[in-house]
A and B are shown apart, each in its own frame.
Chain A
Amino acid sequence: MNNQKRKPLFHISRRQSMLWYRIWLIRGLAILAALVVCALVSVVMTGENPFSIYSTIFTASFGSPRKIWVLLQNIAMLLCVSLAVTPAFRMRFWNVGGEGQALVGCFASAACMILLRDKLPNGMIIFLMFVTSMLAGAIWGAIPAFFKAKWGTNETLFTLMMNYVATQLVAYYCVVWESPKGSGQIGVINQQSQIGWLPVIGGQKYLLNILIVAVLCLFTYYYMYFSKHGYEIAVVGESEKTAHYVGIKVEKVIIRTMMLSGAMCGLAGLLLTGSTNHTLTTTIVDGRGFTAVMVSWLANFNPVWMIGTSFLLVFLSRGAGEISTNFGLNKSFADILTGIILFFIIGSEFFIMYKVKFKHAAEKEVKA
């Protein structure tokens, strides 16, 4: 038989472990390769030389103090949603509903700002905004979790659908609360009285958000790696049967973790509506719920590494956005570049997880 003589060109095996600096070396190379491809694409589209494109990417984020603040703010918001979805991911619960959970958080805080503005003192309203937005997010997360825990309903598809239910809910209230009448938009809420606006500290509009997210990051790190809950989540994620065997109530862990995940998304919504934009639109979360999936996964679900990965994604997408405005390209060019970069990073994970031995190398090893 001819077939038996044929050997595969290369042999793939799973790595046991890998030194951390080699992991980052591989990722670094992938990003580098992605940047080269992006530059090539940009050069073809714009006809500029690649170095002016790279410098544009850099100045988009670090060009002025204001740009640095905007960069930090965007990192903070993306990180917040990413932190939120992470406990669920550790449990192998694919929560792609971060978008909807954050959106109902925005919705709840906007509702407090609009409905209670003349009835309660400002401090009380802000307190209620915190409570309701986190509660709304928690409920939005708990619904799919309940069905997953009880009947094993597919959570990816369920959470995905919940996003659109949330979007339409917000669309409905955008018309109900529209101001001015007939515009179909809410506009800035409480522009004059600033009721329900989170306080500005240190003269910087974004500082409060950044600090809150930093605290949240530390909390998530502690929760995931040093608490009993975190341990239970890890066990359920590895094997539900094992978890059941050692006496962990799997259903309870799934629902509890998703409530936490949803509540943190709701908090992100609060920060968006209460502190950053002071408004409510259907697109206020801006796809962060989806990008968060990638941020969390790229960082291997580690909250501290996520600072790095969310920086990376925000930095690149801001750079890509700047390229498109500076060189007169359509804004969607940024999405294409982000997509290319993501493909490279996703692809590079393979070389971290697996070892590829080519035929010659493998044969030599056998002889030696």
Chain B
Amino acid sequence: MFDFVSFIPRAVVQGVPLLFGSTGETLTEKSGNLNLGIPGIMYVGGICGVIGAFLYEQSLPSREMINGVLAIGIPLLSCLAGSLLMGLIYCFLTVTLRANQNVTGLAMTTFGVGIGNFFGGSLIKLSGSAVPSIALTATSSYFHRSLPFADSLGWFGKIFLSYGFMAYLAVAIALIADYILQHTRTGLHLRAVGENPGTADAAGIDVAKYKYRATCIGSMIAGLGGLYYVMDYASGVWSNNAFGDRGWLAIALVIFTIWRPKTGVLSSFLFGGLYILHMYIPSGLNLAVKELYKMIPYIVTIVVLVITSMRKKRENQPPQSLGLPYFREER
């Protein structure tokens, strides 16, 4: 019998970083910006949180004096600041300077992963630990803390209540983002900018402002995914390149959810499940097959991409001006 009670929580914790990343990227793409820098931004979000937590832990005279509010607040704010900065760089280049979005995004990913691994490596050196990783267990315990009565509720508690607060935050942000996109004027304007900036501009919508805001807020949300990964999932242990290719998987998830953050909640957990499925499928001694199972999320994404383009349902298409810069005089 497949062990769902142990599988689902693990799928969820895998899915949460993807959910943050894909919600952020969906907002960004709705404004017409295809931000391929998301993997880099998630690295930066993670490492900024780690730097904040590290400096805070170092500044404490003893472990016991740690303050819960600061332990969560400092990493959270530094993560948001770092990913906001990345979002601003991307916006400045693509919106103000109208640079090619693909090229800028790829450069952002190189830069962001570099920042993550560089400062990660430097901190590891600073802390002088024997293993190539840095552990922030004290701060992380605050991120990791789940409801005290979760353990006493059996399988229900395990599946629904065993996560740190950021997992619930991710779901909340996704639902709020969906509401804003579908049911508010701001969301309508934002979608208009992404579909046809020329028309939006003619209707009196400030295209640049919407692109800037959506992309920067999107980056900050994506950055939180990096923070969740280090602080909660990895229990405060940063080791270089551990985050892996989750950033690209988050971009894949945006397509999979056909640009709907609400759908992202369950899909991200599904993707998280697919990501770790290879550990649960009995493959005996044949280790190689596991590598093939890891292909599944990407193939599923491709299939969804193809099917949505074949069905040509208008509400399922990517934003029409996705990837194109907007210049008023060129209409």
- Chain A residues in contact with chain B, CB under 8 A? 12-14, 94, 96, 147, 151-154, 156-158, 160-162, 164-165, 168-169, 171-176, 184, 287, 290-291, 293-294, 297, 329-336, 338-340, 342-343, 346-347, 349-350, 353-354
Contacts and interface: CB of A to CB of B under 8 A. Distances in A.
Ranked 9 nearest A-B pairs via Cβ:
A339-B111, A335-B114, A330-B121, A332-B117, A175-B288, A350-B97, A342-B107, A171-B291, A168-B295
Contact of A168 (B110, B292, B301, B310): B292
Contacts of A340: 111
Interface string B113-128: 1111110011001000
Contacts of B329: 12-14
B110 A342 contact: yes
15 contacts: A147-B306, A151-B306, A154-B322, A160-B36, A165-B299, A168-B295, A175-B287, A293-B103, A294-B103, A294-B107, A330-B118, A332-B114, A336-B111, A346-B107, A349-B97
Which of A157, A176, A184, A338 neighbours the largest number of chain B CB atoms within 10 Å of its CB? Answer: A157
Q: Taking chain A's interface residues, is the majority helix, strand, or loop, or is none over half, making it mixed?
A: helix
A335 B118 contact: yes
Which of A152, A164, A290, A293 neighbours the largest number of chain B CB atoms within 10 Å of its CB? Answer: A164
Given A153-B309, A161-B301, A338-B110, 12 more contacts: A154-B318, A161-B298, A164-B298, A168-B292, A168-B295, A169-B295, A172-B292, A333-B114, A336-B118, A342-B107, A346-B104, A353-B98
B123 to A, nearest CB: 10
A176 B286 CA distance: 9
A146 B255 CA distance: 19
A189 B97 CA distance: 48
Contacts of A354: 98
A339 B114 contact: yes
A347 B93 contact: yes
Contacts of B89: 343
Given A335-B110, A342-B111, A152 B309 contact: yes
Contacts of A287: 110
A294 B102 CA distance: 9
B237 interface: no
Interface stretch (B191-199, B212-220, B245-253): B245-253
B118 A329 contact: yes
Given A332-B240, A350-B99, A339 B107 contact: yes
B117 to A, nearest CB: 4
B312 to A, nearest CB: 8
A231 B292 CA distance: 41
A166 to B, nearest CB: 9
A334 B117 CA distance: 11
B329 to A, nearest CB: 7
Given A153-B309, A162-B302, A335-B117, A293 B106 contact: yes
A165 B289 CA distance: 14
Interface in B271-303: 287-289, 291-292, 294-295, 298-299, 301-302
B108 to A, nearest CB: 7
A336 B99 contact: no
B48 to A, nearest CB: 14
A346 B99 contact: yes
Nearest to A144: B302
Given A332-B118, A353-B98, A156 B330 contact: no
B99 A349 contact: yes
B323 A94 contact: yes
A335 B288 CA distance: 32
A349 B107 CA distance: 15
A168 B305 contact: no
A354 B328 CA distance: 13
Contacts of B302: 158, 161-162, 165
B155 to A, nearest CB: 33
A297 B110 contact: no
Contacts of B27: none
Given A94-B323, A156-B323, A165 B298 contact: yes
Which of B34, B89, B92, B100 neighbours the largest number of chain A CB atoms within 10 Å of its CB? Answer: B100
Which of A152, A334, A346 neighbours the largest number of chain B CB atoms within 10 Å of its CB? Answer: A346
A175 B118 contact: no
Given A164-B295, A293-B102, A335-B110, A156 B115 contact: no
B327 interface: yes
A347 B104 CA distance: 9
Nearest to A162: B302
Nearest to A148: B309
